[in-house]
Each structure stands twice: as C-alpha cells, then as structure tokens.
Amino acid sequence: MNSVSPALRDAVQTWLDTRRALKGVSDNTVEAYARDVHNFLGFFASYKGGETGVTALKTLTITDVRAWLASLRSEGLASRSIARKLSATKSFFRWLGEREGFEATALLNARAPKFQAKLPRPLAPDAARDVIKTVELQSTTPWVGARDTAVITLLYGCGLRISEALGLQMHDAPLPDVLRITGKGGRERIVPVLDAAKDAVTAYLKICPYAGLEGPLFRGVRGGALSPRIVQKVMQNTRLQLGLPASATPHAMRHSFATHLLTAGGDLRAIQELLGHASLSTTQAYTAVDAQHLMDVYEKSHPKSASNSK
C-alpha cells in the first residue's frame, strides 16, 4: 500500500469505520472489505505505475477495471470470490464518489462474473439420526464421546453454528428451555432447546472431569476450550463410518435442522429467526432444497416417470 496516497488510505479507513458503525456488520466482514478494497487499489497503483490518490481514481476506465478482474481470474480466484471483491470495491467507490463529488461509472457499471449459488447440502432425517447415534463411537474415552454427541445434537436439534455451540459456558448448564444466542454481527436470537439436547448435555456433564470449573461448557481432553477442528474431525470419522458424502460436515447438521423444519411445514420467517439469518434471502435457499426434494420424489413416484424408466 506504499503506492497509495496517505489521503486515500485515510479515506479507506474512514469508509471502513462507517461500515463498522453499521449495526450487524461484524469485524470479520469489515476486515474482508479492507482486504478487497486494498487489493484493487494496490493493483491499480501497480497497473498505472505510480502513486494512486483520489484524483487518479477519478480517471478510472472500464479497461482498468477489466484488467483488474482479469488479474483476479489469472490468480485462480473463483467467480464467487471475484464477485465479492467487486461488490466491496463498488461500495467504497460509491461512498467516495458521493464524498468527493464524482461518479465512478466505469467501476459501478462493471458486471460481476456469473456463478451458480451453492445450495445447502442437508442430510436425510435418518442419516442425521444415525450421525448422532454414531458420533460417540469415535472415541474410546466415554466423556469425550458424550461431549461430541452433545455438540452434534445441539447443531442439529437447535440449528446452532459450531461457533455458537462451542461458545456456551458452564453457567449455561443445565440447559434451559430456550437459549439466548449471540450470532454473526452481534445479532441475538432466542432458540428453543429440545429435550434431546438437554439430555445430551446433562449426560456429558455427569462424566466430564472438568464439569466443576468455570469457563467453556465443552472442553478438550486437556481442559481447554474445545476446538472446532476437533468437532470437524469427529464428524469426518463418523461420515466415513456411515458411508455419508463429504458434504456431511458439522455445518450440514445446521442445514439439516432448517430443511427438516421446512419439510415439516415450518414457517420460513420463523426458521430465519431460529437460524439467525440477517436476510430472508439467505433462508430462502432452503426452499430451493425442499423444491428439489419434492421433484426427486415426483420423478421417482409419478406413474408416467416410472413407466418411462422401465
């Protein structure tokens, strides 16, 4: 960033501060914005062969933008990542243009590469139940097996993110009928706790050697906070034992929670609240999953489809 003028660096920081001040924008998101905008400014300075300031940005052309996008593609970035970088950079330029009195038409009119949004990959209900039954078998230490069962049950039974489950503290147990969860962007939500989740946590604490301590509810074998990587490894071993696809990850248990609720007639808005999604459009991905499930059932059971397959 040495080739970017101090005034422009200050402008970027001011913009980031305004992003951070917006409710619901997490520090991780702000850091991603910073990386994406700095990536563009660094490229532009190198491409033009001199220090880049606000005045230079006013001369930006569509050729410059295309050169940047081409450089990202040459680095092997996926279309989704390129689209994210372009979106963040557009946001900064829109803000800068309003402040400095210019329109960055070339950048704002640039089109992001098309990509097909990945749908969630939930497990079938019986597969989700098999995971919960099998996960404890991945350890020969009883309390560790009980711990892993409790974590996975919370992911599936309450739709928690893995970070949210591992963020629970000893003082949260025994689990109440509802949990107040702080999720992404500091958004709070109320999550009902199924009896199965309560029972799994209680069974874990009965034999956990660290149950009397303050701090994290879920502990590693040495007493420290349980690492998400351990849960991912346990889930990997479980899916291999059950012959499930690689998409059967801890996060897939959360996807399964949402999809199975929707299939059972759950309201999309209510599921959005339970999952802690900021936008309903994020939750609506599950309607596509459910529609695909219905089409699969239709194709297999419709008389005409069945006769055509003979």
Asked whether the beta carbons of 226 and 219 are under 8 A apart, the reply is yes
* Residue 161 sits in the same domain as residue 244: yes
Distances in whole angstroms, Cα of residue 87 to Cα of each of 67, 84, 102, 110, 113: 16, 5, 19, 10, 11
Backbone dihedral angles phi then psi of residue 103, each to the nearest 5 degrees: -115, 120
DSSP conformation class of 106: H
Check residue 135 and give its pLDDT. Answer: 94
- Does the pLDDT value for residue 298 go beyond 80? no
Structural domain harbouring 186 = 125-253
Residue 297, helix vs strand vs coil? helix
User: Is 237 inside a domain boundary?
Assistant: yes
* Residue 81 sits in the same domain as residue 194: no
The set of catalytic residues is: 161, 184, 251, 254, 277, 286
Residue type, 121: R
Check residue 264 and give its pLDDT. Answer: 61
Task: Give the C-alpha separation, 304 to 301, whole Å.
Answer: 9
User: Is 79 inside a domain boundary?
Assistant: yes
User: Is 266 inside a domain boundary?
Assistant: no
Task: Give the C-alpha separation, 24 to 26, whole Å.
Answer: 6
* Residue 142 sits in the same domain as residue 95: no
pLDDT tens-digit readout, 133-159: 999 999 999 999 999 999 999 988 888
User: Is 164 inside a domain boundary?
Assistant: yes
Which of 253, 277, 304 represents a domain boundary (last residue)?
253
* Residue 150 sits in the same domain as residue 239: yes
User: Is 262 inside a domain boundary?
Assistant: no
Check residue 283 and give its pLDDT. Answer: 54
pTM to 2 decimals? 0.57
CATH number at residue 25: 1.10.150.130
State what percent of residues in the chain have pLDDT above 90.
28
Average pLDDT over residues 238-246: 92
Q: Where are the alpha helices (DSSP H) in the chain?
A: 6-21, 27-48, 54-57, 62-74, 79-100, 105-108, 125-134, 142-158, 162-166, 195-207, 228-242, 250-263, 268-275, 280-283, 285-301, 303-308
User: Is 120 inside a domain boundary?
Assistant: no
* Residue 84 sits in the same domain as residue 161: no
pLDDT tens-digit readout, 63-73: 888 899 889 88
What domain count does the chain have?
A: 2
